[in-house]
Each structure stands twice: as C-alpha cells, then as structure tokens.
Structure 1
Amino acid sequence: MRDVAPALPAAPLPTGGLADSVFERAARTPDLPMLARRTGTAPDVWEEVTAAAVRDEVVGVAKGLIASGIAPADRVALMARTRYEWTILSHALWAVGAEVVPVYPSSSREQVAWILRDAGCVAAAVEDEQALMTVGSVCASLPLLRHVWQLDAGALAELTARGSCLPSAAVDSLRRIVPPDSTAVVAYTSGTTGRAMGCLLSHRNLASVCDTLLAGWGHTAAPPGEQGAVLAFLPFSHVYGLMVQGLCVRGGLLMGHEPDLGPQALTAALRSFRPTYFYAVPSVFENLYKGLLRTAQRTGRGALFARAAETARDFAAASERQRLGRGPGPGLDLRLQHALYERTVYRRLRQALGGRVRRAVSGGSPLSPELSRFFEGIGVYVHDGYGLTETGGGVTMQPLGREKSGTVGQALPGTRIRVAADGEILVRGPSVFRGYAGDEAATGAALRDGWLATGDLGHLDQEGYLTITGRKKDVIITSGGKSVAPAVLEQRLRMHPLVHQAVVVGDNRPCVGALITLDPEFLAHWRAGLALQGDAPLREAREENALREEVARAVAAANSAVSRSESIRVFRVLAEPFDVAGGLLTPSMKLRRNEIVRTYASEIEAMYATRPGRRSPAGPREPERWDDPDDVFLR
C-alpha cells in the first residue's frame, strides 16, 4: 500500500434509525418548515410543511403499513421520481423497521423483475400507471409480492385511512427498537458491466455520512440566522439523492422536490424555490454552463460572456493559489475586472440557480477544474466530492478555506483512504456497507480486512487530497501496451458546448479513439449562427465541413490534458445520443461501455480502417504510422 491519507477525528456514532430524525425535529422545533411542495394551483408557488405536520403524516402512513402487514425487516420497493411522497413513505417504512429498495422509474421490465425478486420485496410503491403495468407484468415471477401501491392514485391517503384505527404508540414501539446497524436501504448498483447487485446499507451507514457533513460543513448551507434550503432533484433511487434527503431531514434544511430533470423544469424550479445550497452531478453543471453560453450568444453577448468567463476562471485560479499559500492572489487589474463583471454579468448568471446559492456540491463523477473555477469565479463555489453506493454516498469533501480544484478533497472525518500499488482506492470507515445481498463471493472480493476495494483509480498528494483518475474496469490498453484512463478525455470533450456525450475506445487498437454525440440544442443554435451562402447542397457540405472542424477542435482541446501517446487520434460523430431505452446508459445515466462498443462495432471498425498515406514532395504516397501525425481525423 501507499499514499495513506490521515484520519481526522470522527463524529459521534449515530443511534437509532433514520426515522428518528423526523420525530426528534418535531419534538424540538415543531413549527420549523421541513418540506416544501407545490400547491397544485400554481407551479411556482411552494407550500411549506412544518416538522410537526411531517411527523404526523409519517405516523399516519406507518400505521397503514402495519395494518397492511408490513413487518420489521420486510423489504419494500420504491419506484418513483424525486417527490414529496418518496420522503414521507421512506421514513414511514423506516419507522416500522422495514427496508427500502429504491428502483429507478426508468428501469426496464427485466431490471424491475430482477431487483424485486433478488431483494425479496413483499410490496412496491410505484409512481404512475405505467410503472404499475411494469410491475404487474412481472408479478407472476414474484411470489413474495403482496402489495402494489400507486402514488398518483392516492396511495398514501389510502394507507393512512387503513391504519386510522391503530394507536400512534404502535409506530413508536417499533421505531424505538430499530437498531442503527440494521439494514435501512438495499441500494442496487448501476449495472454498468453486468447485473446489478444490492448493497446493504444500514441506518448507521447513511446517517454517519450526513452527520459528519453537517458537523463540518452544515453552517455553509445558508447565511447566519437563515434556514438553509435545498431543492432535491437528484433521483432518490441513487445513493447521492438519498444522502441529500438525509442531510435535509437530519440537518433541519428546508427541502423541496423537483421530479423533472429537464432543463426548463429544473431552471423554473430553481428560480421559484430559490435554494441556498445546490447538489448536482457534473452533467448538470455542464448543461448550466452551456445554457448560459447559448443564451449569451443568442442575445448578442457571446463575446462579453467569453471575457467574463475567462476573468472568472483566472480570478478563481489566483484565489486558489492564495488560499493554498502558493501565490499572492488576484492582482489589482484582475480584481477590478472581476468587480466590473460582478455588477454586469455574474449576478445575472447566479439567477440561473435562483439567486441565493453561494456553495454547491458536485458528485457522481469528477468535475472538470475549468468548470469548477468558472462557477467559483462567478460567486458559487462548487465542492467536488467523492463517494459510491457502497459507502452510503460520502467519502471525501473539500476542506473549508483549503479547497483545491482538480481533486475531490480529503477523507471525511472518521474515514481512511489508501491507494493500492495498482492505483485502486481503498476506503475504511463507518459508512462502508455491510455487503451485497445474497452474494458472499462478491462481498468477499469487495471487503478485504475491513477495507472496501472501490474499483476506482486515483492518487493522494502529500496533503491528503484525492484525485480520481478513472475506473479500474474502464482502463483501455492499446495494442502498443499503453494504458489509458478515459475519464479525463471524456470530461474535457464534454466541456465543448457542441459535445453531449463521449466514449473513449481503443482496447487492442493502435491508438485511442472516441465516439461522440452532439448536444441537439446547441447544435441547432450553432447551425443558426453559421449564415452560410450558396444553394442547399453547397451549404450542407460547408456546414458538414465546419462541424467536423469544430469537433476536431474539441478533440484537440481534450488532448491537451494528456500525453501524446494517450491522445485521441480518431473519432466518429454518431447520429443519435446514448440513452437508457436503448440499453446504452444505466438508469443513473452512466455509460454502459461494453454495450456501446458492441452496438457500434461496425462504426469502430470503420474508424480504425487503414489510414491513407500522405504524398511526399516527390509525389509517391508513403505509408503513415498511427503515432506520426499531431492532428486528429474523422472517419
């Protein structure tokens, strides 16, 4: 082993179950707004629900669960988007000692059947009629399934009515005997390379991450004296979304729910809810940046935006050098430029997040340093953290006042990190899961003497900051023996406004290649701005050439982050994006690389077809080597 990160003092271990937070909050501050939901009459009006009202609603649903025969350790699937009912039902289930099995509502029939059967679910709560039909179509293979509730059809009201004859003490008696080390959630992995596995996460696993983050960083959620507010839109079917829910409930932050992840719906929700803290994944920050750029260009302010963005990144870089003791900070000219753009540009840009956000967290995959510096420069510092399903969401966080872009921060207090000789990250701490449901072999392979083998690659610097370089299973080995981690290249490619998705390939190939999909909205905007002359066939040809050149510039920019032998030499632009329906993305929107390579095998073969030679000055064509030229080319 090498690169051992120092272990910081741990927060006190949590006791009891996750549902206790609702009851304790209601006992201490019954009138504190805890949740916010839309009234139904106006989409931009939010109704606040107090801690006491939330507790009463949880108790009512929990009594209905008891009346329905749901017992401690029973597993119940929740197959719905991020919505108010998810929070109420999950805490009601935890209050009676049941275990929650999150299922993505976009999951296929086969995925739903596998998860419900593998977990042994006795009941399922689904969002709408389509999900009800999906579960209904596989009921014959689920002998343990006794109930299916539909949220859109008033399932919570139905449960509350069913349990109305029971005393509230029936819920309290079950809640008080839930041990912290009992299973709270069976969270299934994304299944990027095979069948999903259920991670057994205890109440302590999930609570310890939230309590540690709240103890060290909770005061940054809002200005002093104000209640923090978080818009939860990340799927609660993913452990990151569950962590956000836990932070809000345990930390007394007002939480609103937004089930629609579309850019328009999310932007509207942010403007009306006006959160003080923002949790997202890199793709959301990338889309926000591209949306701001597209809007600026459409209104004739593209050049102004470009200058303001460059100033923001320069200011953030200088500020980072200062806080890390590596430089004097922004100079006078840079400070004056930054102040000018603060009055004319940055304040308007922050309105895209509602106008009150000053700090944010990015998780799920590494955030590019350029994007991190852009948001910091406009006044929204983005903490880049690291975690995984098997750790209840959190492993690292940026230390306040010592944030370092390009890294995912340092180990959380109470958590230890090691990097093995082959670069694999190993983690130990209170958030590490109990194992995989029903799979002792996989559990034994992942847990080694108390250390979790994450499958992620990275390194620690002398100050304990962790940098993620990729996934162990994603490493590409070219025919020349060069090992290439694709994450950096793909991240850099996505920074270009035209690029939507990118998959780096090259196993057993002479060089690294890439499959690229384009952002449809920005592509339409880009085409509208070309203003090409000539008849239709000529304009189309010129547009195609211009598009190839633009994508080639994006590839060249990505290549600047790696060595020449690791750079992309060939690429192909695909007509359609990767999606969940086609089986090329997991429900959590991660790339299913093996499926992508199989689906586009013919395109990859054509991309690597023998490259034509160049003509020498004397005239004859000379054969080329893959590593000779400095340019990239399109097949």
Structure 2
Amino acid sequence: MDNKEQLAQLTIPQLLRWRMRKTGNKVALREKDFGCWNSYTWNDYYEHVRKVALGLLAIGFAREDKIAIISDNIPETFFVAIGAQSVGGISSAIYQTSLPEEIGDILQYLEVALVFCNDQEQVDKVAEVRHKIPGVKRVIYEDPRGMRGYRDDDWFMEIAELYRLGEDAHRKDPALFDILVDRGNGSDVCHLCLTSGTTGLPKGSMLTHKNYINMGLQLTEVDPLDESDEYVSFLPFAWIGEQMNSFGVAMATGIAINFPESVETSMDDLKEIGPHFMFGAPRIYETIRSQIWLKIDESYRINRMVYGYFMKVGEQAAGYRMSGQSMPLSLRLLAWLGRQIIFRPLVNQIGLLRLRRAYTGGAALGPELFTFYQALGVNLKQIYGQTEIVGIAYMHRDGDVRPDTVGKPLPGTECRISGDGEILSRSASVTQGYYKLPEKTAELLEGGWLHSGDAGYIDEQGHLVVIDRISDVMYNRDGEMFSPMFLENRLKFSPYIKEAVIFGDKMDYVSALINIDPIVVGKWAEDRGISFSTYMDLSFKPEVADLVKREIEKINGAAEKTHFKIHRFANLYKLLDMDDGELTKTGKIRRKFVREKYNDLYLALYDESIAEKKVEATFQYQDGQTATVETTIHFYTMGGG
C-alpha cells in the first residue's frame, strides 16, 4: 500500500498526528494579531488539539455530540473542530453574519451540545436565543474582552479554562488522547457542513473524514503542492470552500495556513503572505479586478495606453497557455516584456506574485474574467462541485483551461448526465446525506449518484459545461432556452456593474435589475464632476444610466441570438445583501426571493409604457433596525426606446 492509500484510510486527527510526527517543527499555522505574525508548528497544532479534546471530554462532551463554531478564521477554530473530532464528536460551523434567530434555529436542528465563539459579538447572539436552545450545555469563547457580564455564569467558559482541563487530564493519563484518536474510523461523520440555504433553513450535509481527505489527495494529484507552500485562509469557515482546503488539502500536503488579522484587512495581509495558491469565490476575483482597474484608471494616460496594448498581447498569449499550444516566438517575447514592465509590478502590488495557481468556485465566473487574469499571468482555474461532494469534483488542468467549462473530473470521480440534463457525480467524497432529513437524502443520492440540481453537458473534449441551476433555466415566450446566470456573468464583467439579476422566463424579452459598483462608478463620476451623496443618489444619475446602457449595448452586440439580448433594465437603489435575504451566505442570488421582494419593479420592467415609478425603499441596518424612504425608480428600454 503506497503513502496515498495509507493516508486515505486515516481520520483527520490521525492525519494530524501523522503530519506532526513527519514534520513536527515545520510551521503549520500562522496568525496575524495586533500587527504581528504568530506561528504554530505541527507540534503546537497537535498539542492544542489534544488540550481541546481532553478538555471537552472533561466537561461531558461525548462521542457523536455536536459542537457548533461561530468564529472568524483563527487557529482556535481548527483546534476546536479537530479536538471535537478526536473524541468522536461532530463539528459544524455557522456563518458569522448569521442573525440570532437563524443561529437558534440551526443549533436546534443540529442538536448542538456546545458552541464555540471567537468574540463577544457572537457570544451575545447565542445568549440572545438561549431560551430556544435548551440542548446547548456550554458556550466556549476565545477572546475574553467584553465578557465580564458572563463570567459569573457557568454556561460560559473561556477557552483558556478548557486548555487547563485538557492539560490536567493529559498529566493524569498521557496515553488517553492516542487511545481516543485510534478509535476513529475514516467512515465516521466528522462535520455537518451547512448548505447555502437558497430555499430556507440550511441543510446539514454529513461529511466523513474520508470525504475530506480523499478530496485533498485527489486535488493534489492533479495540482501537486509542496510542504513549503503558503495558503491564505480568508473564506468563511462555514463554507465548504474553506473546509476543503483546511481539513483536506492542508492535512494531505503539509502546507502552511495563514490567517489574516481580520476580514477587513485580508486583502492587505495578502501582500505580506504572498500565497502560492489560493481559493476564492467569484466575488473575491471581481473585487481584485476592480482594484486593478482603479489603479490603471488613476495612472497617467501613457501608462493606460501601454497597459491597453499589453493587455491585448496578454490575452493572445493566454489563449496559447490555456490551450497548451506552443506560442509563436514574437508573441512570447512581447508577452514576457508586458509581464516585466506592466503585469509583474501590478500583480506584486496585490500580493499574487508567488501565486502558481488560483481557483474559483461556488458560483460561475464569466469567461472574460478568466481571460483577464490569465492575461495578467495569474493562473486562475475553475473548479466545480457542491457542499455534498466536499466542494470539488471537477477542475481545469494546466494547459487545458477552457473558460466556458469547469474542467474534467478529479481522479476517482465519475460523471454522468441524466436524461433531463442534470449533472450526476460519484466519488469517495460524496456525503452520506443530510442530517435528520431522510427524504431529502433519498432525492440527493437517488440511484447511487449525487444529484447536483445543475443542468449541463460534457463536451467533445471531456470537459463539463454547466448551464445553470435546473430550477433557474429560463424559456422565453417562444420556448427558447437561456441561462440567466450566463447573462449575469457577462454583465458583471463590466467594471461598472457589481451585480445583476436577469428576468424573462415565459416573457417576451429579457430584462435586468442592475447593481452598479459604488467604488468604480463613484470614481468615474468624480472624474467627470458629477456630485452625489449616497449609493441611491449615484445609481439614479442620468449619466450613470447612460453608462450602464452602453455596457449592456456591448453585451447585446455580442449576443448570437435575439433572446440573449437584454431589452429593459433599471438600476436598483441598494446593493443586494445577504442580511436582507437577497443573497446566500456564499454570494449567490436567491432569485425567487428577489423576484418576489421587488415584484413591483419586475412588473414595471414588463410594461414598456412605464418610464419611472415611485416606490418605498426599505433598508435594514446591521443592528436590525430598518428605515423606509420614498424614491423614484427609472426604467430604460434598449434600442433607443
């Protein structure tokens, strides 16, 4: 049995122990705190997990008990999760942006016994719904600041006390932790990963140690990583996209995980880390692209001209690199020159100079954005999967990157397209099902295949092409099919458009609600002496409407078929927001919800006699308070109408 086969049989705690024995003195985790980077070796990592595990045991946490984690990405997040798994418990994670009522519902559904929070903000949320969660026996917190009001209540416990209990238990029985870890089996459920919840309360996907480790091993078989490589952890731990790298890839390869000081500083800390590989949702790459465009826009005219020229050269060179074809010498020299004088300094400014591979997933990314990054020399590749298959099942290979596809299956992954066009998958990373939802599980795993809910097909090169969610695919009045996601991605490639929602199912034409990008459009307006006060004010400027109209005209001009063209649009008065229920926690549009919430705007989009409409705009603030103002929405018809 080779090394890979051996690792595939282990649990995550067993793999951590193996990693500790192999490279114990190497840095495993690095955290920025108060401006300084603090490191944990694999020995330190293992010792902290042991302290947590034995401490949990001391306060009554038992096999198959659940612990929920509501925390920023910090080392303690992993100490707690793997510590719980070491004693046979099951971890889960809840998005830090979740509101108290939502947290209470999830804790009840998952039958959680313990909760770990990183700070007072999250502890306060759990305390607010204490009456709803009688099964929660203790709330453990990492940061003691602001916790004075909780210190006389045994329901709350600082992690330092948990460490102390764990150390005492280890002194009394030094062999106990190894005995507990040895009891684990790779097929044991170790984590309940919440789905994105596009249709209500998230479902807990039951994932095993083997699910995670298999994914990590198969991914690195396609794209090998070195133990000296650096990874930056800034995605929410509740998302499978972060877990697959933290639990799967990092343990399988021994790479170091770096934790930025905060979500707000992550892009700045990225420059100090200089990761060798990174993974991010499309919004991350869209944000970075906007920053690049702003830097170029603020530079001298000659610089913009040089950038424009070498961007065209870079796009040509990217076509050869992505297809694995040999590049003509003249183009190779020009591309090298552009990289040295334009793109290398630019990429270095955003911290991606050492990056060998970048991945995106969780939602579709427009082909134009792929080509943009590849032109810069950033090896951005698409992955595709879902929570129920540990995030990755398909990915691009170097030299075989096709922007209109999501690549080929990982080794050991089978793909099939059902009779109605649904993407089906099968591998050792497929979930055991949804926690306490047998009927949903039966639908998900019908016939022994994982049902994605996505429509797609396999092209002649063996690449998987994802069309859209089956439930989101639309047909116009004449029965012609189109993908709203495809059109939304085309729109979002514009630097001026941050988000778009496409309508048109069973209608005469396609329409859109547009979110402008406040940073890029704000800079555009300032450069032209257009004053504005708020996002709403900026969105409703006639000049901004003309700007968006020109961007839509470009997309319509490139559309092959009439029913792919956008006929009517309106700029929305606010950014779509997950706190308002318009986006999932991973940034996907909750299309049905948006359609119902803005039904009056939807109806106006399909009445060409309406040029403007008074509406009541409701805003919800972070503290839960709402404000309502009356405003006028303007509707625009393409083609001069």
- TM-score, normalised to structure 1, is 0.88
After superposition, the C-alpha distances for 1:161-219 in whole angstroms (9 at most, x for unaligned) are 12222124222211111111111111111111222111111111111101111233124
Alignment of 1:224-263 (within 5 A): 227-246=228-247, 247-258=249-260, 260-262=262-264
- Counterparts of 1:388 and 1:543, CA distance in 2: 38
Counterpart amino acid of residue 286 in structure 2: E
- Counterparts of 2:545 and 2:296, CA distance in 1: 24
Counterpart amino acid of residue 381 in structure 2: H
Per the TM alignment, residue 148 of structure 1 is displaced from its structure 2 partner at its CA by: 0.8
Counterpart amino acid of residue 276 in structure 1: H
Please name the residue that 1:396 is paired with: 394
Please name the residue that 1:161 is paired with: 164
Alignment of 1:437-448 (within 5 A): 437-448=435-446
Counterpart amino acid of residue 97 in structure 2: S
Indicate the SS of the match to 2:294.
Answer: helix
Of 325, 339, 344 in structure 2, the residue corresponding to residue 347 of structure 1 is 344
Indicate the SS of the match to 1:185.
Answer: strand
Alignment of 1:260-299 (within 5 A): 260-262=262-264, 265-299=265-299
Indicate the SS of the match to 1:473.
Answer: coil
Answer whether contact 2:116 2:141 (CA < 8 A) is retained. yes
- Counterparts of 1:532 and 1:120, CA distance in 2: 55
Answer whether contact 1:37 1:48 (CA < 8 A) is retained. yes
Alignment of 1:188-227 (within 5 A): 188-219=194-225, 227=228
Please name the residue that 1:90 is paired with: 81
Of 578, 581, 588 in structure 2, the residue corresponding to residue 580 of structure 1 is 578
- Counterparts of 1:382 and 1:162, CA distance in 2: 46
Please name the residue that 1:558 is paired with: 555
Of 509, 512, 519 in structure 1, the residue corresponding to residue 510 of structure 2 is 512
Moved more, 568-577 or 301-310: 301-310
Please name the residue that 2:52 is paired with: 61
- Counterparts of 2:591 and 2:387, CA distance in 1: 19
- Counterparts of 1:520 and 1:190, CA distance in 2: 26
- Counterparts of 2:320 and 2:390, CA distance in 1: 35
CA distance 1:39–1:261, shift in 2 (3 Å): closer
Answer whether contact 1:572 1:634 (CA < 8 A) is retained. no
CA distance 1:286–1:117, shift in 2 (3 Å): same
Please name the residue that 1:30 is paired with: 24
Of 317, 334, 343 in structure 2, the residue corresponding to residue 315 of structure 1 is 317
Please name the residue that 1:466 is paired with: 464
CA distance 1:13–1:457, shift in 2 (3 Å): farther
- Counterparts of 1:260 and 1:588, CA distance in 2: 18
CA distance 1:80–1:373, shift in 2 (3 Å): same
- Counterparts of 2:50 and 2:211, CA distance in 1: 24
Answer whether contact 1:497 1:519 (CA < 8 A) is retained. yes
Please name the residue that 1:625 is paired with: none
Q: Is 1:178 equivalent to 2:169 in the alignment?
A: no
- Counterparts of 1:180 and 1:260, CA distance in 2: 33
- Counterparts of 2:458 and 2:118, CA distance in 1: 43
Indicate the SS of the match to 1:163.
Answer: helix
Of 77, 81, 90 in structure 1, the residue corresponding to residue 72 of structure 2 is 81
Alignment of 1:362-401 (within 5 A): 362-401=360-399
Per the TM alignment, residue 417 of structure 1 is displaced from its structure 2 partner at its CA by: 0.5
Answer whether contact 2:27 2:41 (CA < 8 A) is retained. yes
Indicate the SS of the match to 2:167.
Answer: coil
Please name the residue that 2:12 is paired with: 18
- Counterparts of 1:573 and 1:200, CA distance in 2: 41
Counterpart amino acid of residue 334 in structure 1: L
Counterpart amino acid of residue 281 in structure 2: V
Please name the residue that 1:3 is paired with: none
Indicate the SS of the match to 1:290.
Answer: helix
Answer whether contact 2:322 2:398 (CA < 8 A) is retained. no
Indicate the SS of the match to 1:140.
Answer: helix
- Counterparts of 1:215 and 1:467, CA distance in 2: 22
- Counterparts of 2:193 and 2:544, CA distance in 1: 42
Moved more, 393-402 or 414-423: 393-402
Per the TM alignment, residue 566 of structure 1 is displaced from its structure 2 partner at its CA by: 2.6
CA distance 1:353–1:562, shift in 2 (3 Å): farther
After superposition, the C-alpha distances for 1:141-163 in whole angstroms (9 at most, x for unaligned) are 22211011122228332210122
Per the TM alignment, residue 354 of structure 1 is displaced from its structure 2 partner at its CA by: 4.2
Counterpart amino acid of residue 270 in structure 2: L
Please name the residue that 1:496 is paired with: 494
CA distance 1:455–1:14, shift in 2 (3 Å): same
Answer whether contact 1:571 1:634 (CA < 8 A) is retained. no
After superposition, the C-alpha distances for 1:67-87 in whole angstroms (9 at most, x for unaligned) are 111111111100112222112
Answer whether contact 1:192 1:592 (CA < 8 A) is retained. yes
Answer whether contact 2:455 2:468 (CA < 8 A) is retained. yes
Answer whether contact 2:444 2:451 (CA < 8 A) is retained. yes
Per the TM alignment, residue 400 of structure 1 is displaced from its structure 2 partner at its CA by: 3.4
Counterpart amino acid of residue 19 in structure 2: R
Counterpart amino acid of residue 333 in structure 2: L
- Counterparts of 1:174 and 1:305, CA distance in 2: 59
After superposition, the C-alpha distances for 1:516-542 in whole angstroms (9 at most, x for unaligned) are 111111111110222479xx9xxx999
CA distance 1:334–1:147, shift in 2 (3 Å): same
Answer whether contact 1:482 1:566 (CA < 8 A) is retained. no
CA distance 1:237–1:561, shift in 2 (3 Å): farther
Per the TM alignment, residue 561 of structure 1 is displaced from its structure 2 partner at its CA by: 4.7
Aligned pair count? 590
CA distance 1:185–1:398, shift in 2 (3 Å): same
Answer whether contact 2:502 2:510 (CA < 8 A) is retained. yes
Answer whether contact 2:538 2:544 (CA < 8 A) is retained. no
Please name the residue that 1:5 is paired with: none
Please name the residue that 1:432 is paired with: 430
CA distance 1:180–1:506, shift in 2 (3 Å): same
- Counterparts of 2:287 and 2:200, CA distance in 1: 29
Answer whether contact 2:261 2:269 (CA < 8 A) is retained. no
Answer whether contact 2:195 2:204 (CA < 8 A) is retained. yes
Counterpart amino acid of residue 578 in structure 1: L
After superposition, the C-alpha distances for 1:279-307 in whole angstroms (9 at most, x for unaligned) are 11211111111111111111223333333
Of 435, 453, 464 in structure 1, the residue corresponding to residue 451 of structure 2 is 453
Please name the residue that 1:621 is paired with: none
Moved more, 162-171 or 95-104: 162-171
- Counterparts of 2:409 and 2:455, CA distance in 1: 15
CA distance 1:582–1:541, shift in 2 (3 Å): closer
Moved more, 275-284 or 471-480: 471-480
- Counterparts of 1:284 and 1:310, CA distance in 2: 24
Aligned-CA RMSD value? 2.5
Please name the residue that 1:607 is paired with: 605
Please name the residue that 1:302 is paired with: 304
Answer whether contact 2:186 2:208 (CA < 8 A) is retained. yes
Indicate the SS of the match to 2:384.
Answer: coil
Counterpart amino acid of residue 340 in structure 1: L
Answer whether contact 1:279 1:362 (CA < 8 A) is retained. yes
- Counterparts of 1:405 and 1:565, CA distance in 2: 23
Answer whether contact 1:181 1:202 (CA < 8 A) is retained. yes
Please name the residue that 1:137 is paired with: 128
In structure 2, runs of 5+ residues without a counterpart are 145-156, 612-635
After superposition, the C-alpha distances for 1:9-44 in whole angstroms (9 at most, x for unaligned) are x9677223111222111111111111111253xx2x
Per the TM alignment, residue 133 of structure 1 is displaced from its structure 2 partner at its CA by: 1.8
